[in-house]
Structure 1
Amino acid sequence: MLTLKTILGEMESVLNSVNKEHYTNLVEKFKEDRRFFFVGEGRSGLIAKTIAMRLMHSGKTVFVVGETTTPAIQEGDLLIIVSGSAATGNIVNLLKTTNEIGAEAFLVTTNPAKLESENGLLIKAATKSRKEGEPSTIQPLGNQFDQSVHLILDAAIIDSQLETDTNTTFKRLHSNLE
């Protein structure tokens, strides 16, 4: 139980460090009537898929980059990138393509330097790199980042739906082919 208490304390610290203005910006984006694309690599990619599914439950048109049924991104669409470093070759290329097409990118990352040129949300969490300035954690690799992203983006979706009965709305769009 001590491990759980420690992790909860770490998470509280990370969540409390989120910039309220950037968070509100994301909530407003989730309210918009547009197509949403999600991408991430590794565990961050799994979190991106989780959030994509939840946003779809809210009634939005949502795609996951790399899936066979994902269409081309277009002007006016929003690509949400979940990446601790935001520096891998694939992520850099996706940002470039998105900007060239005229779509919007929203970067969820621990890398403040990347947010100087991109729209997004800084998550002050530890990554597998354990760079100077990252918080300490008992958790391995990028667990702290991935867990934080899951909680923050899930909360942003809920906040974007406060005018509705979210459980009823989400349940209506939940898979019925189980």
Structure 2
Amino acid sequence: METIHTILNEMQAVCRKVDKDEYESFVQLLKQNQRFFFTGEGRSGLVAKAIAMRLMHSGKTVFVVGETTTPAIEKGDILIVLSGSAKTVQTLNIYENASKQGAKIFLITTNQEALQNSFCHNGLYIPAATKYRLPSEPATIQPLGNQFDQAAHLLLDAAIIDSLSNENTHETLKKKHANLE
């Protein structure tokens, strides 16, 4: 039980340090009536898929980059990129190409410098540890990028909840949940 308490304390510390304005800009982005595309590599990619699914439940048009049914991204679409380092080659290629098509890029990362990239329209800095264990990252008992991935999941799920209108209740979201299971 001590491990779970330590992890919960780490999550609380990381999430409390997130900039309120950056978080609110993400909430406002989710309220837009646009097509949303999600991408990320490894565990960050799994978190991106989980958040994409939850956003779809709220009634938005959502796609995951790399799936066979994902259409071409277009001007005005929104690409949400999850990357702890924001240096993964494939991720960089995806958001550079999306930017060339006129999509808006929202980056969720631990890399503050990457948020200044010309391709990035906006973003959310999460002050969490990654697999690189840079001096600026907080200490953690968790391996690799667990701390970033967990914080991203918590923050993005909360942002979806904050973006929901009063009409989007548990029952309306449940209607959009997969029923072929």
Q: Which category describes the TM-score, using the shorter chain as reference length?
A: over 0.9
Matched, 1:131 2:138: no
Aligned pair count reads 178
Aligned identity (percent) is: 60
Matched, 1:173 2:176: yes
Match of 2:101 in 1: 101
What residue number does 1:60 align with? 60
Match of 1:8 in 2: 8
SS of the residue corresponding to residue 87 of structure 2 reads coil
Of 155, 160, 163, which aligns to 2:166?
163
- Which whole-Å deviations, capped at 9, do the CAs of 1:41-65 have from their partners, x for residues lacking one? 0000000000000000000000000
After superposition, residues 70-109 of structure 1 pair within 5 angstroms as 70-109=70-109
Q: Which residue of 2 aligns with 1:18?
A: 18
User: Over aligned residue pairs, what C-alpha RMSD do you find?
Assistant: 0.9
SS at match of 2:180: coil
- 2: CA distance between counterparts of 1:108 and 1:31? 17
The amino acid across from 2:134 in the alignment is K
> What letter matches 2:157 in structure 1?
D
Q: Contact 2:58–2:168 at 8 Å: present in 1 too?
A: no
Q: Who is 2:157 aligned against?
A: 154
Q: What SS class does the counterpart of residue 127 from structure 1 fall into?
A: coil
The answer to which of 15-24 and 115-124 deviates more is 115-124
Within 2, Cα distance between the matches of 1:164 and 1:152? 22
Q: 8 Å contact 1:158–1:166 — kept in the other structure? A: no
- Gaps spanning 5+ residues in structure 2: where? none
Superposed displacement of residue 172, structure 1: 1.0
The SS at the match of 1:134 is coil
CA distance in 1, matches of 2:172, 2:108: 26
TM-score (norm 1): 0.98
CA distance in structure 2 between the partners assigned to 1:165 and 1:47 by the alignment: 22
Are 1:47 and 2:71 an aligned pair? Answer: no
TM-score calculated relative to the size of structure 2: 0.96
Structure 1: gaps spanning 5 or more residues:
none
Aligned pair 1:144/2:147, yes or no?
A: yes
Take 2:67 and 2:168, find their aligned partners in 1: how far apart are those partners?
Answer: 30
